[in-house]
Amino acid sequence: PDRREQEKGGFFSWLTGAEAEGVPLLSPYGVVADGRGRVWVTDPLARRLVLFDLARKRVVPLERFDSQGLESPLGVAYDARRDRLYISDGSLGVILVVSADGRLRDVWKHKLFQRPAGLALGPGGQLHVADVLLGEVLVFSPEGKLVRRVGSLLTEDGKFNRPANIAVSGDGTLFVVDSINFRVELISADGRSLGSIGKLGDIPGSFARPRGIALDSDGHVYVADAAFGNIQVFDRAGQLLLFFGEPGQDRGQFSLPAGLFFDDLDRLYVVDSYNHRLQLFQYLKAP
């Protein structure tokens, strides 16, 4: 991805922390960006959210929101319409609703929450929450009301097996990283099974430790695998199109890649957990 090199001196260096050594990423996990220069990264080991404010050239560690602290922030989602963030805390078992300037707006608690992790917004602004221990995806209205529960349609007990991260397409299709089943499950907006992508294995097209997931503007499905140290790209039918990356510390290499996110400019943010950084790639459409 050529543009990544072009951005080396500005956008990319801010993301990788080259100009922000005072705020290290210890073990980053989730990431989201607003497409206007603000990038938020969860760091459960450091018990904080880190804001990379590129327009103002500053990096801000966010450990408390008013009186509410963080224990294990995992997922993060940004609602552009309301200019607010959702943060899942797996240890506290809550969803924090925070304004983009860092003010606590609400704390969502629910009796079903066990370990909320991956977050994704649907096209109507509904928040999808993958709960790892519950084995379901819970869907909430913007006001915090539970409107739907989604379990696995491909297992006998009606639950996913450790759903970790999720993505939602423009038509409302839900993509669930069903981590201990070693696949991505596709669920339609009305709850129908649309099949799955991948299976347990050690060859391209299979998974060993799937983690983050994201969709580009053409609907391709990107899945980070922490064991392989790479990103695999599939079409919606489950056909492997390509993969990139390998274990290592150089650019384009990964050590336990985790969260993925595409912004509106088709820039892919990859949380490179054990390398304590983000990497940025540009998806280029076919001419």
H helices within the chain, ranges in order?
2-6, 11-16
Please name the residue that has the structure tokens 């379901």.
136
196, β-bridge pairs? 185
Per-residue model confidence as pLDDT tens digits over 253-270:
999 999 999 999 999 999
Number of domains in the chain: 1
Residue 272 lies in a domain: yes
The larger pLDDT score, comparing residue 1 to residue 42, is at: 42
Residue 111 lies in a domain: yes
Q: Give pTM, 2 decimals.
A: 0.91
Residue 191 lies in a domain: yes
Q: What pLDDT band is residue 5 in, cutting at 50, 70 and 90?
A: very low
Average pLDDT over residues 113-120: 98
Expressed as residue numbers, the domain containing 134 is 2-282
Q: Is 257 helix (H, G, I), strand (E, B) or coil?
A: strand
> How much is the CA Rg of the chain, to the nearest whole Å?
17
95, β-bridge pairs? 88, 108
For residue 175, the model assigns a pLDDT of 98
Paired tokens of 150 = 């989604």
Average pLDDT over residues 119-125: 96
Residue 287 lies in a domain: no
Of 20, 13, 68, 73, nearest to 43 by C-alpha is 73
Residue 7 lies in a domain: yes
Paired tokens of 187 = 């669920």
Paired tokens of 266 = 């088709």
Is residue 211 within 8 A of residue 164, CB to CB? The reply is: yes
CATH number at residue 231: 2.120.10.30
- Residue 119, classified by CB atoms within 10 Å of its CB into exposed (0-12), middle (13-18) or buried (19+), is buried
Lowest-pLDDT range of 16-20, 84-88, 129-133: 16-20
- Residue 102, classified by CB atoms within 10 Å of its CB into exposed (0-12), middle (13-18) or buried (19+), is middle
> What b/e readout covers 38-72, taking b as 16+ CB neighbours within 10 angstroms?
bbbbbbbebbbbbbbebeeeebbebeebeeeebeb
Residue 132 lies in a domain: yes
For residue 24, the model assigns a pLDDT of 82
Of 207, 172, 170, nearest to 187 by C-alpha is 172
Counted residue by residue, the chain has a size of 287
Is residue 202 over pLDDT 50? yes
Of 216, 234, 206, nearest to 270 by C-alpha is 216
Percent of residues, the chain, with pLDDT higher than 70: 91
Residue 118 lies in a domain: yes
Tell me the longest C-alpha to C-alpha distance in the chain. Answer: 52
